[in-house]
Structure 1
């Protein structure tokens, strides 16, 4: 892409931006117009005119618009006009910076106040101009550091002392206590021993005693026999 093409494109974009930002000023409006009854000087002082803006003159056939120099403006003379219009709906684009002067060419109308001075500024002042590059960043542009502690994660490793499921041998006693069964006294009574069983026990005891006695006697007799045999 050539340099000339770049310049042309930039110029086209700049012109398009100017046209998009241009303001249409209805002369004498909104409660007046291009006539002898409107306070055109007060209206002009309340406006801000920039390069690219448009002046719109609306008027009936008994009026016209004549652009003049500063001396002719002050003396209401139209003998050497810069430009004149009589179409009833005149639009004049402010193409350069500086002051421009307009009067009505009908005899006596300029002296009755039908004249306006337009002071055109070089550029239109944007209501929201960008901040300079050297300006320190505002608080809203800086990263926000949160001082509020973040919530703990739902799934965290809990300590043995805090976990309801963990069992610590130091703090959890053995809950299994011995089970005591109530002792119910027996209502059953032992049947008394029968005389027959008692007699059998006595006979058995007597037989045992007799056997022991016989064994003792046999031992004594053996000692006696041995003793006689040696002597």
Structure 2
């Protein structure tokens, strides 16, 4: 009977480990990277971005920048009120909160020729890209956005092991 308990426990640990590794790393533009001549709207279609995912911007240092901007600056290709800026490659951006994030290349002419990216981030585990929460740093977070995806499964598994472990011979 001890072997069955050990095997069951091992399987549960393995399943929970897989849930912890659920974040996705996206290479912006896939093999093309972060450059001019890529349709980033088309690149985002069909992808579901979640809290905990990462965006990897791969480009030649000095040839491009990754500048996070507001929606209005995204529309006008302006870097005057940049939220963040990086000109070193590669640049990785963690998607830490739900909402829409906007990125442009700050090199003159690049954004206006299409080197811009808008990413809508759903809450952790929500499975939805439609979110109406503010994408900007307001200083308040829901507790759900701070709990890793697999955390609830770990707690549930622990409780089940405690409950059923008492009845195993």
Question: Shorter-chain-normalised TM-score: which range?
Answer: 0.5 to 0.7
Quote how far apart the aligned CAs of 1:86 are.
1.1
Which whole-Å CA distance do the structure 1 matches of 2:55 and 2:37 have between them? 19
Q: Are the aligned partners of 1:18 and 1:52 in contact in 2 as well (CA < 8 Å)?
A: no
Aligned partners of 1:18 and 1:33: how far apart in 2? 28
1:73 correspondence with 2:68: no
- The equivalences for 1:41-190 within 5 A come to 41-60=41-60, 61-124=62-125, 125=127
- Partner Cα distance (2:19, 2:80) in 1: 34
Q: What secondary structure is seen at the aligned counterpart in 2 of 1:80?
A: coil
Q: How far did residue 20 of structure 1 move?
A: 1.7
In 2, Cα distance between the equivalents of 1:94 and 1:18? Answer: 18
* Cα RMSD for the two superposed structures: 2.1
Large movers: runs of 4+ above 4 Å? 16-19
Higher relative contact order (CA closer than 8 Å, sequence separation 6+): 2
Q: TM-score, normalised by structure 1?
A: 0.45
Distance 2:33 2:54 in 1: 15
The unaligned stretches of length 5 or more in structure 1 are 1-15, 127-231
Q: Which structure has the larger Rg?
A: 1
Distance 1:78 1:121, change over 3 A: same
CA, structure 1 residues 20+62, in 2 after alignment: closer, same or farther (shift >3 Å)?
Answer: same
Rounded Cα–Cα distance in structure 2 between residues aligned with 1:114 and 1:46: 19
Hey, what's the Cα distance between the residues in 1 that align with 2:46 and 2:109? Answer: 26
- Name the counterpart of 2:144: none
Cross-structure match for 1:40: 40
- Distance in 2 (CA, whole Å) between partners of 1:17 and 1:77 is 41
TM-score (norm 2): 0.61
Using a 3 Å threshold, how does the CA distance of structure 1 residues 19 and 102 change in structure 2: closer, same or farther?
A: farther
Deviations 1:152-174 (A, max 9, x none): xxxxxxxxxxxxxxxxxxxxxxx
**By percentage of residues, which structure has more strand?**
2
